[in-house]
Amino acid sequence: MDLNFFQQFLPNQKNLALKSWNFQPAIGQVTLKVSSTQEEAICPLCQALTHRIHSHYERTLHDLPWVNFGITLMLQVRKFFCVNLACKRRIFTERLSEVTAPWARRTRRLTEHLIDLGLALGGAAGERLSQKLGYGISDSSLLYLLAKLPLPDIVTPKTLGVDDFAFHKGQSYGTILVDLDQNRPIGLLPDREAGTLAEWLQQHPGIEILSRDRSASYKSGMSQGAPEAIQVADRFHLLQNLGETLQQALGIHPQALKAIDSAQRLATDKDSVEAIVVASSPKDSPPKVQQLAEQRQVQRVETYETVWRLHRQGLSPGTIARNVGVSIRTVQRFLLTPNFPERQERSDRGRSLLNPYKHYLLEQYNQERRHLKTLFCEIQKQGYTGSHKTVSRYIRQLAQTQVKLRQDLSQQKLPKVVDFQRPNLTARRAAFLILRRAKTLKHDEQQVIERLAAHPELTKTVELAQEFTDLVRQRQPEQLDIWLKQAENSDIAPFVRFSRSLQEDYDAVKAGVTLSISNGPVEGQVNRLKMIKRQMYGRAGIGLLSRRFLLAS
C-alpha cells in the first residue's frame, strides 16, 4: 500500500514524514516509522533558533487505534546544539508540540481522548471502556492524567448561587458555587463554614446578588465576604421551611387528623354503592410485642413530662438531655410541641412489589377469575418478581372482606371489590396536600383540604400556610409584613417561631419574594455532582471531584 495513504493518518502531516510501516495482524498491531522534517529548532531554555544537529534518537509513542488495531509510532527525532553561548543548555531535543509533550509516551490526540474518557467515567469505568476501545489504559493512569489538569479560570459572575452537598451524608459537607447568569458551576469549597465562603468572596469581588437557602452559616459568610451584595432567600427553601413548620403545627392535633381521615373514608366509601373498599389487613402482633410497645409508650410519656418539668426550671436543652439520658434533638423536638407527640402510623403503601399489579388482580377477581396459580403466572409475565405467598395473601384478603360485607348487609350476591390504596392522613401528608398547587389536586384530595380548613383546631393553621404559599409563589412582597404580624400574633407556636426566623432574615426573604432569582439551577448542578460522586464510590477527594465536575461542564 502507498505510503502517501498512511501519511494522511499521522498526527501532524507538516512536520512528520512516514518512512515505513509494519502490519502484524496476529497481534492486532501496526507500527509506523516516522521522522521529523523540521530543519530548525528552538531552544526551550533561551528560545534561540538553531539548525546545528548534534545527533538522532528514537521515541516510541502510542497513537489512536485504527478500528481494532493498535498504532505505535517509532518517531526519529534530533538533538541540536544551542548557538547562544550565554545559554546554560548546550544540547537540547527538538520539540514537536503539536504531536506530543516532552517525555510523553502518547500522542496529544490520544491523551485528549483519554482525558475526555476519564472526565466522563472516572477511573474504574474509564479503564473498562478503554479496553473495549483499544486504548488499554489503567484506572490509576487515567486518574493521574486528570490530576494534572488545571482547574478553569474563574470569571466573577454578577449573580452567584450557593448551596451545600454531602461528601458523606450526615458527616461531612462541601459548598457548590454556580454562576446563575451562565448556569455554570465555577467552584467547589471543601466545607460549608462561613469563614471559607467569606474568604472566597473576598478573593472574587464584584458579585452583586447572592442566592442561598436559609442557612445561617451561608448568611454570615456572605455578610462578611460581600457585604454590599444583595442576599436572596430561595423561594423553594422558604416553602420547604413552611412545610416543616406546618407539619409541626398539624402534629400537635393528632386526634383532629384521625377524625378528618375517618370522615373522608366514610364519604368516599358511600360514593360507591355496590363496591367495597379493601382495607389494609392489620398485622396482629404477638402479645409480648404488644406489651413491650405499651411499656415503651409509657416510658416516652414519662420522658416527655420530665423534659418539660426541667425546662420550666430553666435548664438548657443540653443539660436536660444529659440528665434524662436522651439526645439533644429529642429534647428539642419535645419542647417544640406543647402536647405529647403521638407517633404517626406508618403506611406500607407503595412499598409492596405487588402494588403495580393489584389493579389487574382486582379486575380479574371481579370477573370471577380467581385461580391463584393462573393469576400468579400472569403477573409474573408482566414483570412481577415477588413471592407466590404475597399474591395468595392479597387474594385471601379480598375474599374475606367480600364475604364479611355480604354477611353484614345480608346480600345474596357478593359485591364488587375496590382497593382505593389510600394512605393514612398523617401530619406530613396533610402538610404536603396543603402546599400543593390547587390545579394538581384530585377531587378527594381537595375534599381533605376543605375538611382540614373547616376543622376549628386547624382553620388558622391552614389559612396561614395557604396565605404564605400564595405570597411566595405569586411574589407579593407587599403582603409579607402583614403575614408576619398575623403569624406573630397567632397562638400557634410553630408559626410564631417561623415568623421570628423570617424577621431575623428579613432582607433576604423580602428579596426572595420580590426578585426572580432562583436557586433551582444550583439544585440541578448538585444532582449532577451527586451522580459523579457516586460513580467514584466516595473514594475521590475534592481535587478529582472538582476536575470531573467543572471541566466536564
Q: 542 and 471, same structural domain?
A: no
Per-residue pLDDT of the chain (553 residues; tens, 9 = 90+): 567 777 888 888 888 988 888 888 888 889 999 999 888 899 999 999 999 999 998 999 999 998 888 999 999 999 999 999 899 999 999 998 889 998 899 999 999 999 999 999 888 889 999 988 888 899 889 989 998 999 999 999 999 999 999 888 878 899 999 999 999 999 999 999 999 999 999 999 999 999 999 999 999 999 999 999 999 999 999 999 999 999 989 988 888 898 888 888 777 655 554 555 564 554 445 667 667 777 787 888 889 889 988 988 888 988 999 988 888 888 888 887 766 666 655 554 556 788 888 888 888 888 888 888 899 999 999 999 888 898 898 888 878 766 665 555 554 555 666 665 667 888 899 999 999 998 999 888 899 999 999 999 999 999 999 999 999 999 999 999 999 999 999 988 899 999 999 999 999 999 999 999 999 999 999 999 999 888 887 666 888 899 999 998 6
User: 204: how many CB neighbours lie within 10 A of its CB?
Assistant: 17
Instruction: Domain of residue 244: give its range.
Output: 237-264+424-512
On whether residue 152 sits in a domain, the answer given is: no
Instruction: Looking at the structure, tell me whether residues 288 and 412 fall in a common domain.
Output: yes
In a domain, 522, yes or no: yes
Residues 186 and 220 in one domain: yes
DSSP structural state of residue 106: B
Output the pTM of the full model.
Answer: 0.74
| Count of domains observed in the chain | 5
Instruction: Determine, yes or no, domain membership for 154.
Output: no
State which H helix or E strand residue 529 sits in.
helix 520-535
Residue pair 329/318 in contact (Cβ under 8 Å)? The answer is: no
Residue after which a domain boundary falls, among 418, 445, 466: 418
Residues pairing with 166 in the sheet: 173
Per the document, the length of the chain is 553
Residue 399 and residue 284 share a domain: yes
Residues 120 and 206 in one domain: no
One-character DSSP codes across 315-361: --HHHHHHHHTS-HHHHHHHHT-SS--PPPPPP-TTT-TTGGGHHHH
Could you tell me if 498 and 446 lie in one domain? yes
Residue type, 420: F
Reading phi first (left if > 0) and then psi (alpha if -120 to 50, else beta), residue 272 is in beta
- The answer as to whether 153 is a domain residue is no
Out of 357, 387, 418, pick the residue that ends a domain. 418
205: domain CATH number? 3.30.420.10
Question: Which positions ≥6 away from 216 have C-beta within 8 Å?
Answer: none
370, part of any domain: yes
Report d(CA 218, CA 164) in Å as an integer: 9
Dihedral class, residue 366 (left if φ above 0, else alpha if ψ from -120 to 50, else beta): alpha
Answer with the one of 383, 418, 453 that is the final residue of a domain.
418
Shared-domain flag, residues 439 and 413: no
